[in-house]
Structure 1
């Protein structure tokens, strides 16, 4: 029985026909980032892919406190409030597998992974990255490719069944695990070279065999992408930029695989021209996360500087001080990532490109300080010179009458500037139309 192609499958098919299109994936749960992402997708007429990771959202709540069904409702409610059409919204699950339970025996970790992937699929998450590359407590030091692939196929069978029982279209799958460290490297010297074509071919062959041996012929036809390392990464202070020449052989390999594209992780902070090159070279799914929350942090710090000028100290939010106090009290999200002296760690907590402070915006004292900052600034008129000094690009939009001076509107615009680079790289025709419309306004 033929299934109607989903919007994601249609986009991949269009890319493989030679159209200059791709898909950008916003890996974040922060409401201001998601609201900005919705605005960008509306402006550039793109699909909006929102992805949750296996440690962020799981059957036990993850670090967001949400299970897959709750996260789905959270995103759907926000899209409905903003008037974004449901048919252009896609939910994805990233690194679904035994990641959160690596300290347990394999049979126990995989049992949790099965519940996890079933919960994602039953909730309507359509794009599923299967990642069983991590070793469990009783696994050998290095997992062989066949074990990784067999575990991934096992999860695909469970996801297919759960989606079908819930009445959803069958999921599409992403395989492969040769990715940069989530959130950036501790040092860019640790960054990897581009995946070799031979390694990519091996991953594809082993997974194909595992799926077919498990009788998952239909599911294998829905494998749309493979995760590889295109040679992009970042650490706390430096960025490894895309080099098309280094990735040329890898790009040529996937060009010979009908219906398949590459998915690139850690594309944060790349030049916009590099994002365009990556889509051209079949790295057609671009994932972004820390760069969006980094822009949020930049915007909040700028608003704090404005607050310092306009609000009496007794009424000020003290946001950045509160944030650092909470990070020091709960260091588990940054300590192993930030080496060096206490002063070096302080700088990285606030300014590092890996943006470990993104894990703390939902902490009650920090969230309350953000609310107070926004309330303080919304209660006064921000003078244009202060706006120009601290948020100059937003100031220019305010001058044109294109942007309000509310604190959250300013923040979302700043985040949207980052995400818009991805939208333009993934939908060049729409980008030209939007830029032309802006030029004649």
Structure 2
């Protein structure tokens, strides 16, 4: 039995165990997640989205085999065995091709699914919730389910063709799925998925699977994406309210065909809220922007220290490089960050939606980051400056738990956030 199935079986048996999913392609975030798993001698689930990685390269420039090789190379660099790394694909469907007629978009989606499974990705999120160019304004549950079942069939065929044996894919389904990459705007209240809607979603998907002779595959449909009432926008966090999701939690306890729930957009929730989500059967917790937000905070703090130590002409000026890159290539933030220029400038740097995460892989920013870390290691970071700009890391250095090195200081805030998720999911300390 695969690690994912083991964890979820233990949850169904009454243990307060969950799985956190690291949804990021940022190399530093991935290193932090892999280092945490290595120290805890555990597993880590890393998911690439259909925006990041696809058969044409996505915005990272990586296809599924390249992303897998990249992650495993990073794992090897920190001493984590490849079998401890589980890969998943998020929002796999026609998302990137919504501008095309459904036949063409689904054709690309079939190729996408096959590429992920052929590359050894185990957890597959079947997401056909978005409309294509010639679709009706609102897609029916039946149409979404039929398309999801079609893609599941492609995935099963791709797995059967694989030359290298590996765990059979497990699937996540759902119709109430957050928009990949972030919303354009959020309401004042986040509506929790109704239990009746969740029950109907499962029923129509099961019928669609049966229609394609996929009944034997159904036990590997592990979770349903629902909205438990958690989300965030540029400056607000919608915290988990267990009372509002009580009906959903009860539905999972009564039995939902063996399925548990997957919660997206759990970023910025407290550890207590994350733990309660797991107890309420939201057994898979997705996190992405909060991790790169923590990384950005650390990079800006290190840049502030650099400005204190070096003359301007010797500084890497990473915040300035980021701003210039975002202005030169505004497509990842322009339709999301509205308002006056000063307000947009503030959002580009500090928004909780963290759309600057799309830019860290640019050559200019990779060079600026490398220069920043090299500058700090060359001149040394005085403890008073570390206390001023990174007080949590200062305490860790004093306790001997963290070396006074720029790279270690950069990863530490991300690792602390990952540890919060690990604790909420019942991970035991070694």
Question: Which TM bucket (shorter chain)?
Answer: over 0.9
Q: CA offset at residue 120 of structure 1?
A: 0.2
- Per the alignment, residue 301 of structure 1 pairs with 300
Which residue, out of 223, 233, 249, partners 1:225? 223
Q: Cα deviation per residue 1:371-411 (whole Å; 9 max; x = unaligned)?
A: 11111101011100000110111111111111112211111
- Per the alignment, residue 316 of structure 1 pairs with 315
Distance in 1, Cα, partners of 2:208 & 2:341: 49
Q: CA offset at residue 190 of structure 1?
A: 5.8
Distance in 2, Cα, partners of 1:106 & 1:232: 31
- Per the alignment, residue 132 of structure 1 pairs with 128
Q: Cα deviation per residue 1:265-324 (whole Å; 9 max; x = unaligned)?
A: 000000110000000000010000000000000000000110011112111011101100
Is 1:412 the counterpart of 2:411? The answer is yes
- Per the alignment, residue 202 of structure 2 pairs with 204
Asked whether the equivalents of residues 38 and 79 of structure 2 are also in contact (C-alpha less than 8 Å), the reply is no
Asked whether the equivalents of residues 180 and 265 of structure 1 are also in contact (C-alpha less than 8 Å), the reply is yes
- Per the alignment, residue 438 of structure 1 pairs with none
Distance in 2, Cα, partners of 1:258 & 1:130: 18
Distance in 2, Cα, partners of 1:245 & 1:43: 36
Distance in 2, Cα, partners of 1:191 & 1:81: 44
Change in CA separation of 1:222 and 1:111 when aligned onto 2, cut-off 3 Å: same
Asked whether the equivalents of residues 188 and 238 of structure 1 are also in contact (C-alpha less than 8 Å), the reply is no
In the TM superposition, what are the counterparts of 1:24-423 in structure 2 within 5 Å?
24-166=20-162, 167-189=165-187, 192-255=190-253, 256-423=255-422
Q: Cα deviation per residue 1:64-110 (whole Å; 9 max; x = unaligned)?
A: 00000000000111111211122221100001000000111111111
What TM-score, normalized to structure 1? 0.95
Asked whether the equivalents of residues 172 and 223 of structure 1 are also in contact (C-alpha less than 8 Å), the reply is yes
Distance in 1, Cα, partners of 2:384 & 2:177: 44
Asked whether the equivalents of residues 361 and 367 of structure 1 are also in contact (C-alpha less than 8 Å), the reply is yes
Asked whether the equivalents of residues 91 and 180 of structure 2 are also in contact (C-alpha less than 8 Å), the reply is no
Report the secondary structure of 2:171's partner residue.
strand
Distance in 2, Cα, partners of 1:186 & 1:100: 17
Q: CA RMSD in A?
A: 1.2
Report the secondary structure of 1:179's partner residue.
coil
Distance in 2, Cα, partners of 1:70 & 1:190: 40
Q: CA offset at residue 188 of structure 1?
A: 3.5
Distance in 2, Cα, partners of 1:290 & 1:383: 30
Report the secondary structure of 2:53's partner residue.
coil
Distance in 1, Cα, partners of 2:258 & 2:208: 19
Change in CA separation of 1:258 and 1:132 when aligned onto 2, cut-off 3 Å: closer
Q: Which runs of 5+ in 1 are unaligned?
A: 435-441
Distance in 2, Cα, partners of 1:42 & 1:238: 34
- Per the alignment, residue 11 of structure 1 pairs with 7
Q: CA offset at residue 183 of structure 1?
A: 4.6
Range that drifts further, 41-50 or 142-151 = 41-50
Q: CA offset at residue 168 of structure 1?
A: 2.9
Q: Cα deviation per residue 1:248-273 (whole Å; 9 max; x = unaligned)?
A: 00111122225311000000000110
Distance in 2, Cα, partners of 1:46 & 1:35: 15
Change in CA separation of 1:89 and 1:267 when aligned onto 2, cut-off 3 Å: same
For these two proteins, the number of residue pairs brought into alignment is: 427
Report the secondary structure of 2:262's partner residue.
strand
Range that drifts further, 341-350 or 183-192 = 183-192
Distance in 1, Cα, partners of 2:423 & 2:36: 10
Range that drifts further, 52-61 or 183-192 = 183-192
Q: CA offset at residue 179 of structure 1?
A: 2.9
Range that drifts further, 392-401 or 113-122 = 392-401
Change in CA separation of 1:268 and 1:64 when aligned onto 2, cut-off 3 Å: same
Distance in 1, Cα, partners of 2:236 & 2:424: 22
Range that drifts further, 138-147 or 194-203 = 138-147
Q: CA offset at residue 27 of structure 1?
A: 0.3
Asked whether the equivalents of residues 79 and 86 of structure 1 are also in contact (C-alpha less than 8 Å), the reply is yes
